[in-house]
Amino acid sequence: MAIRNIVLDGDDVLRKVSRPVTIFDEKLHLLLDDMAETMHKAEGVGLAAPQVGILRRVIVVDVGEGVIELINPELISKRGSQTGNEGCLSFPGQWGIVTRPMKVKVKAQNRYGEEIIVKGEALLARALCHEIDHLNGVVFVDLAERMLGPDED
Ligand code: CO
């Protein structure tokens, strides 16, 4: 496993739409392992493949309950809403107020290509929405009602 470089704000790769994964091979497994390690090292709760320069529909999320790997994730239902502070490893030191669903259900594939359903609420729902947005070239600053200064919360 290896730490990969995280793409920062201003890089065009963050604005591109990622392509679906069709091959579930060792290269994908290495990417997933590296993404989890990179996310943990950076103390983030989620990371999307375009953030390490790979335009494929792959995300990892860990809100403190273990790593969730999602390939080709699709939001299939959402309920309620939550408004709160959000940041991104590609936007260090920037925070904004973003409204997200309170509960989501996501259909995806695991690293072997098997279909899985993941349900999330609160922070997990927020992280899943944030990371899926990355696969469509959408970043949280696009959605923020307002941005916060570094010392506000
Ligand atoms: Co992000």
pLDDT in tens, the chain (153 residues): 899 999 999 999 999 999 999 999 999 999 999 999 999 999 999 999 999 999 999 999 999 999 999 999 999 999 999 999 999 999 999 999 999 999 999 999 999 999 999 999 999 999 999 999 999 999 999 999 999 876 555
Centroid of ligand 1 to alpha carbon of 133 (angstroms): 8
Centroid of ligand 1 to alpha carbon of 50 (angstroms): 10
Kindly report the CA angle at 111 between 116 and 143, in degrees rounded to 5?
A: 70
Query: CA 151, CA 114: separation in Å to the nearest integer?
Result: 43
User: Whose CA is closest to 61, among 136, 6, 126?
Assistant: 126
Of the residues 74, 114, 121, 131, only one is catalytic, namely 131
pLDDT of residue 149: 72
Taking CA atoms, 57 is separated from 69, 81, 87, 94, in Å, by 11, 25, 20, 25
The answer to whether the beta carbons of residues 90 and 47 sit under 8 Å apart is no
Centroid of ligand 1 to alpha carbon of 147 (angstroms): 15
pLDDT of residue 18: 98
**145 belongs to the catalytic site:** no
Query: CA 59, CA 47: separation in Å to the nearest integer?
Result: 6
Centroid of ligand 1 to alpha carbon of 34 (angstroms): 16
